[in-house]
Amino acid sequence: MSQSMSQATATQNLNVTSEYGTLKAVIMHKPNTEIDRLLPDNYRTFLFEDIPFLTKIQSEHDHFASLVASTGAKIYYTEELLRETLQNDTAKQALIEATGALERCEGMIDDLTRQTPDELTTILFAGIRANEARARGFKMSMYLPDDRMLMPPLPNFYFMRDPAAIVGNGIVSSNMFYPARARESVIMEHIFRYHPLFAHSVDFVYGVDENERFSSIEGGDIIVINEESAAIGCSERTSSEAVMRLAGNLFKRGRVKRLYEVFVPPKREYMHLDTVFTIVAAQTICAHKRSFMESPQTRMYEAADNAEGAQLRGEGRTFMDVLKDEFGGLNIIEVAGGDKYYADREQRTDGANVFTIAPGKVVGYDRNQRTNAALREAGVEVLDFEGSELVRGLGGARCMTMPIERATA
């Protein structure tokens, strides 16, 4: 059930110390008008595999959300959170100015400021074309074509995992690799900073200092193993420098004791660490066992002796060895049951990217039949749903969620 400011309690705790503790609260984004901004000549620029059908993608997302909520978890939708955040004039002006600088549309700041919270919410998600701006009375050149996008849309926003992540009770504000997604993290940063649900205890552990805005990091690469350790993929979208900086910040604040850097080949079909591996229960993972997860190239950061920053320790363990040591044992459920032919097909449609809503209970696409069968055979409950339109953005169930509170596993 969606929780708005008027319905919700006064505050919302932030606490994620595992990937499989029973889900208590999550942020999601239902695809909306921004999807209809995708065209044959721009959908690849916006990182899509094809153009989704809006009505169908919304119905698929509704079904997905109903399964996520089946454990009683609160679902906060970004559209409501942003609209409520923008009711705060300070928050509204700060976000408009940050957006103007990011999108190089400072000339629209005064016009954006005149918009109501509802109107501005629509613009920040869907962008705005010249003809729409004229209809709203924006000051602009009369020579601009009607279909010129003055601010681009954010069609990837339903992949909520990436613009921010919670580690313990700290917030990692992402620095997105592709410009097409940069505004997503700016919006989420302002929601966490100003919305009454979160502002009481907001603690950014990464991403708000100026010197942290030069190295890319995305939430899909961040895996919380347990209360003492986390893993981060060094991938196409997360840099090794960002991993090092985040490690130092987490250690300094006492969030974790060990941070593992996992090298992920910079290929679109891998994208983030969570596209090839997720934790579904204690000592149990679902994985597409690529060679990079079984080669001894995992690196471990620990707190430096002077308690400032992080120190790198040479590692000879594989990532699978690391997980086995952290969990005290490891049960690996392979994508498509390990069938190489079908594993490659189902990895492409995010077979491993299931979303754990309780220990041994996951949500995932129904099209990954062999992976779901392997999970069920291993005793994992799978709630599946149709996602033929959702998957056109190349992301799965975990990609579409930002857990902000889980029960202690």
Catalytic sites, residue numbers: 399
Across the strands, what pairs with 403?
Answer: 26
What residues contact residue 230 under an 8 Å CB cut-off, 6+ apart?
A: 167, 222, 223, 224, 250, 256, 258, 259, 260
Tokens of 128: 């705005």
Q: Which of 294, 286, 293, 290 is nearest to 370 (CA)?
A: 286
- Please, what's the b/e burial string for 181-191 (b: 16 or more CB within 10 A of its CB; e: otherwise)? bbbbbbbbbbb
Instruction: Find out whether 314 and 321 touch, Cβ atoms under 8 Å.
Output: no
Collapsing DSSP states into helix, strand and coil, what is residue 299? strand
Chain-centre distance for alpha carbon 160: 4
Output the CA–CA distances (angstroms, integers) from residue 58 to 12, 73, 349, 384, in the order listed: 26, 20, 18, 16
- The Cα–Cα gap between 199 and 192 comes to 6
Torsion of CA 220, 225, 229, 230, to 10 degrees: -10
**Residue 333, number of CB atoms within 10 A of its CB:** 23
Instruction: Find out whether 158 and 389 touch, Cβ atoms under 8 Å.
Output: no
Q: Which of 195, 164, 185, 231 is nearest to 401 (CA)?
A: 164
Output the CA–CA distances (angstroms, integers) from residue 59 to 64, 263, 351, 398, in the order listed: 9, 36, 21, 18
